[in-house]
């Protein structure tokens, strides 16, 4: 065991962890390695080996986390069954004729698909294949098209079912049900702000997005049957949680089952697609649970160093207004989001800052929405920005520069207007949860 001060060991652990990330080690393995080393350094090999024996099962075996495989599986069912296509075509027939209408339809389709998937990556991949060719066909500006799809895909991170909100709830022991319901209005707010941005841009620069094809009222009304499946899935999840009929964990199973039954009834999937859905779900689950496992080992190490407690006490004791501290947290997430994936960043930072946030009097449900909004922004921010790489992979010829330039206006709207409104009016996030039984 080292005789160094626990705080020094904790700081050394962070430095080693950042170095491991810099050389490309997966974040879950990096946190596990540093956490194991830190426990060994402070408590000896016996305690470290015992932690390695106990933590994997105690962390991953949590009943609350069983909702994640269900939400992930549901997202892949929705992706392979073409629910994103249904959502986009409905919005396209209703709004495609307007200037910027295809971009508006893409944003609405993204929000609708997010309501039955919870996967930003799946939403971006699906809409990249569907919407980008259509926008090109009507001579839309490539950067506007790319930015709309990339930022539209991030809406799935907030609109329930949201994997990130589930993980925030598990980490902070806040109500997952209230967190999922809290994401509805902020998610819709983000969508409407993005739509308003498109409308303003096209108003001043009509060449960015010419009007699309016009459809009759009959065609528009008939298209609404395409969102019945999505509506049923969303109501099964959000409605069941809101009314207290079942828990979020049960909602995951109900949502996945509903999605699967609808897909089979509509004859959207076959044996081959079902096998692909299972394999993709297993890969994503393995990746997420590896990060969770590593994070729990790392957090156990940090608890021994007392860094989270010391940090919370230091933050609370600062002689500044609590909003200054809040802005500092936003800036920190903005910077860290450029270099870390969303799940790893959430699991690494929330144990540190959550005690401080509660001590300063911020609502923990509202703060969860803020954290996920910042993680949502990080999904597109380079150099890690996974959304940009997903979109580039499904749209041949699209460059990263076009995607980055295209999403910048949406980035500023999300950061300053959406976050600003949520900060000034926290009731946007807390109203629906406060009405729950």
Q: Identify the pLDDT of residue 3.
A: 65
Query: Based on the domain organization, do 44 and 183 belong to the same domain?
Result: no
Residues in contact with 163: Cβ distance below 8 Å, sequence separation at least 6, in sequence order: 68, 71, 72, 118, 119, 157, 288, 343
Query: Based on the domain organization, do 29 and 93 belong to the same domain?
Result: no
How many other C-beta atoms are found inside a 10 Å radius of the C-beta of residue 426?
A: 17
Our count of domains for the chain comes to: 2
- Domain span at residue 52 reads 1-61+288-305
278 lies in some domain: no
CA–CA distance, 139 with 373 (Å, rounded to integer):
31
Query: Based on the domain organization, do 329 and 371 belong to the same domain?
Result: yes
Query: Based on the domain organization, do 219 and 343 belong to the same domain?
Result: yes
323 lies in some domain: yes
240 lies in some domain: yes
Q: Identify the pLDDT of residue 384.
A: 66
Whether the bond into 332 is cis, omega within 30 of 0: no
How many other C-beta atoms are found inside a 10 Å radius of the C-beta of residue 54?
A: 12
Conformation bin of residue 119: beta by default, left when phi > 0, alpha when psi is -120 to 50: beta
Query: Based on the domain organization, do 30 and 152 belong to the same domain?
Result: no
CA–CA distance, 178 with 258 (Å, rounded to integer):
22
How many other C-beta atoms are found inside a 10 Å radius of the C-beta of residue 28?
A: 24
Closest to 295 measured CA to CA, from 62, 7, 119: 62
User: Where do runs of H (alpha helix) occur along 360-399?
Assistant: 364-378, 386-394
CA–CA distance, 300 with 41 (Å, rounded to integer):
13
Query: Based on the domain organization, do 161 and 43 belong to the same domain?
Result: no
pLDDT per residue, tens digit, the chain (437 aa), is: 556 678 788 888 888 988 888 888 888 898 899 999 999 988 888 888 888 888 888 777 777 788 888 888 888 888 888 887 888 888 889 988 888 888 998 999 888 888 877 677 778 888 888 888 888 888 899 999 999 998 988 888 888 888 899 999 988 989 999 999 999 999 999 999 999 999 999 999 988 988 878 888 898 888 888 788 888 888 888 888 888 888 888 888 888 898 999 898 888 888 888 888 899 888 888 888 888 888 888 888 888 888 777 777 788 788 889 999 999 999 888 888 887 778 888 888 898 889 889 989 999 999 999 999 999 888 787 776 778 888 888 888 888 889 989 999 999 999 999 999 999 999 999 999 998 86
């Amino acid at each position: 065991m080292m005789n160094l001060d626990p705080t020094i060991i904790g700081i050394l652990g962070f430095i080693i962890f950042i170095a491991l990330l810099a050389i490309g080690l997966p974040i879950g393995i990096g946190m596990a390695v540093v956490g194991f080393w830190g426990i060994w350094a402070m408590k000896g090999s016996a305690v470290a080996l015992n932690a390695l024996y106990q933590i994997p099962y105690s962390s991953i075996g949590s009943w609350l986390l069983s909702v994640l495989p269900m939400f992930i599986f549901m997202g892949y069912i929705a992706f392979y069954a073409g629910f994103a296509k249904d959502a986009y075509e409905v919005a396209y027939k209703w709004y495609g004729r307007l200037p910027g209408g295809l971009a508006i339809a893409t944003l609405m389709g993204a929000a609708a698909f997010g309501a039955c998937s919870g996967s930003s990556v799946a939403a971006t991949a699906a809409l990249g294949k569907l919407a980008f060719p259509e926008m090109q066909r009507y001579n839309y500006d490539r950067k506007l098209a790319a930015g709309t799809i990339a930022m539209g895909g991030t809406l799935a991170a907030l609109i329930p079912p949201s994997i990130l909100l589930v993980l925030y709830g598990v980490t902070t022991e806040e109500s997952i049900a209230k967190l999922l319901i809290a994401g509805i209005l902020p998610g819709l707010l983000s969508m409407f702000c993005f739509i308003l941005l498109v409308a303003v841009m096209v108003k001043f620069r009509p060449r960015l997005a010419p009007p699309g094809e016009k459809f009759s009222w009959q065609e528009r009304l008939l298209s609404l049957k395409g969102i019945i499946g999505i509506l049923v899935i969303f109501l099964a999840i959000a409605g069941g949680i809101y009314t207290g009929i079942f828990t979020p964990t049960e909602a995951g199973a109900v949502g996945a089952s509903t999605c699967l039954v609808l897909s089979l009834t509509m004859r959207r999937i076959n044996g081959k697609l079902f096998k692909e859905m299972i394999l993709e779900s297993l890969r994503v689950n393995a990746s997420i649970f590896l990060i969770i496992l590593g994070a729990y080992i790392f957090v156990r190490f940090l608890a021994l160093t007392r860094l989270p407690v010391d940090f919370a006490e230091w933050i609370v004791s600062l002689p500044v207004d609590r909003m200054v501290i809040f802005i500092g947290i936003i800036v920190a997430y903005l910077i860290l989001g450029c270099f870390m994936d969303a799940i790893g960043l959430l699991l690494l930072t929330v144990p540190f800052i959550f005690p401080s946030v509660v001590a300063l009097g911020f609502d923990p449900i509202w703060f969860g929405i803020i954290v996920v909004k910042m993680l949502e922004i990080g999904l597109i921010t380079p150099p890690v920005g996974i959304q940009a790489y997903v979109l580039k992979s499904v749209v041949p010829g699209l460059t990263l520069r076009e995607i980055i330039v295209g999403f910048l206006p949406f980035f500023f709207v999300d950061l300053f207007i959406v976050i600003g409104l949520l900060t000034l009016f926290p009731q946007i996030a807390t109203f629906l949860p406060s009405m729950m039984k």
